[in-house]
Amino acid sequence: MTGASILVTGATGFIGHQLCRTLVESGKRVRGLVRGPVTLPPGVEPAECTDLLDRDAIRSALQGVNAVVHLAARVHVMADRSADPLTEYRRTNVEGTRILLEESLAAGVRKLVLLSSVKAVGEATAVAWNEETPPAPTDPYGISKLEAERLVHELTAHSALAACVLRLPLVYGPGVRANMLRLFQLVDRGVPLPLGRVHNRRSLAYVGNVVAAIEAVMASPAAAGHTFFVSDSRALSTPDLIRAIARALGRPARLLPVPEGFLRAARLVPAGRAAADRLLGSLVVDSSKLTRITGFSPPYDVERGLRLTARWYRERSAGRR
C-alpha cells in the first residue's frame, strides 16, 4: 500500500486520529473525511462531508483513493434520548455505510475495512466469543452495527473490492473519553471502589493494537471477506484493571471487598444498570482468527498500553491547571 491514497472516515475521532498519524508516519498518503474545518495530523488531506448520506461529497472524497477505513458512525451512548434510536442509528451506520460502499465500488477502490463493535454480537459472555458465535445484539446501536457488517459482506462478495470487518471491544489509550477516562480519574483521586470481589473477565483493546490490526488486514489479501475480533492478548477482571491503572498512575488501588451480589442488590455502582453490567459482567472475545489468517500479533501488552494512557492522562491534567 506504500504510496497509495487511503480515505479514513471519522478521521478526527479517538481511533481515527491515531490511525491517520500512524499511516502518514509510515509513508502513506491519507485523506481524512471530516464534518468541517478541523485540525488533522500533519500530512492528512481534509475532505469535508457534513452528512454520510451526501453522495456527492462521498464521491468527491473517493477520487484517487485506493483504500477506505470506515470509522465514522453514530456512536453508542448510555442514555439515548432520540424518539426512535434505531432509525437514527440505521441512518448513519447502515445507510451511510451503504452509500460509502456503493460509491467505493463505482470509484474502483480496492480495499475497505469497516470498524464495528462487539455490541454487534451482544453485551455479555459466559464463554469467550469467536467469529462463529451467533450474533444477538441487544440495543439499537448493536443492531445497526450488525446490519452494517452484513451489508459490507453482501455488497462486496462478488466484486473486486476486498473488504473485511473488525469488531472492537472497549478501546483505550491516549485521547480516550467516557468510562475509561472516568475510571482513571477515580483511581487518580484515590476514591475507594467497592469492586474488590468482582470475579469477571473483560477483553480490551489498546488503540495502538487497533491501528496495527487495521494495517495488518489492509496488507493481507487473505483478510478479504472475513470478520475479525480484535483485542489485547489477555482479558482482565475489573479489579485487575483497576490495579493496573493504579500502577500506571503510581497510585494505590483502593478496592473494597464488597460481594458482587450486594453491589447489584444495593445499586452501589453509579450510572445505572448498564454501567454495573460493564463493571461486574464478563465480555471476552477470542481474537486468534486474526492472528491465524493475517499473522497479526498485538504489539502492545496491557501494561504498556495503560502506561502510555497514564502518561497522556498526566499531561492532559497538567495542561488543565
Query: pLDDT tens-digit profile of 76-110?
Result: 665 567 789 999 999 999 999 999 999 999 999 99
Give the per-residue pLDDT at 132: 97
Give the per-residue pLDDT at 36: 84
Q: Give the C-alpha separation, 117 to 142, whole Å.
A: 7
Give the per-residue pLDDT at 320: 72
Give the per-residue pLDDT at 271: 53
Question: Exposed (0-12), middle (13-18) or buried (19+): which is 176, by Cβ within 10 Å?
Answer: buried
pLDDT single digits (tens) 265-311: 766 665 556 667 778 899 999 999 999 999 999 999 999 999 999 99
Give me the tens of pLDDT residue by residue for the chain, a chain 321 residues long.
Answer: 445 699 999 999 999 999 999 999 999 999 999 998 888 999 999 999 999 999 999 999 999 999 999 999 998 665 567 789 999 999 999 999 999 999 999 999 999 999 999 999 999 888 999 999 999 999 999 999 999 999 999 999 999 999 999 999 999 999 999 889 999 999 999 999 999 999 999 999 999 999 999 999 999 999 999 999 999 999 999 999 999 999 999 999 999 999 888 887 766 665 556 667 778 899 999 999 999 999 999 999 999 999 999 999 999 888 776
Q: How far is CA 254 from CA 75, 77, 276, 287, in A?
A: 32, 28, 18, 32
Q: Give the C-alpha separation, 58 to 51, whole Å.
A: 9
Q: Which is the catalytic residue, given 141, 172, 206, 313?
A: 141
pLDDT single digits (tens) 2-14: 456 999 999 999 9
Give the per-residue pLDDT at 263: 82
Cα–Cα nearest to 226, from 126, 293, 285 = 293
Cα-based torsion angle of the residue sequence 283, 285, 121, 238 in order, rounded to the nearest 10 degrees: 20
Give the per-residue pLDDT at 1: 44
DSSP class of 84: S
**Residue 141: active-site member:** yes
C-alpha cell at 75: 456512536
Give the per-residue pLDDT at 75: 86
**pTM attached to this predicted model:** 0.94
**β-strand partners of 193:** 255
Angle, CA of 180, 264 and 182, to the nearest 5° = 15
Please give the domain boundaries of the chain with CATH numbers for all domains.
5-168 (3.40.50.720), 174-203+233-321 (3.90.25.10)
Show Cβ contacts of residue 19 under 8 Å, excluding neighbours closer than 6 positions. 8, 11, 69, 71, 210, 211, 214
Helix 302-319 crosses helix 238-249 at what angle (to 10 degrees)?
A: 50
Residue with cell 475480533: 229
Q: Give the C-alpha separation, 58 to 102, whole Å.
A: 10
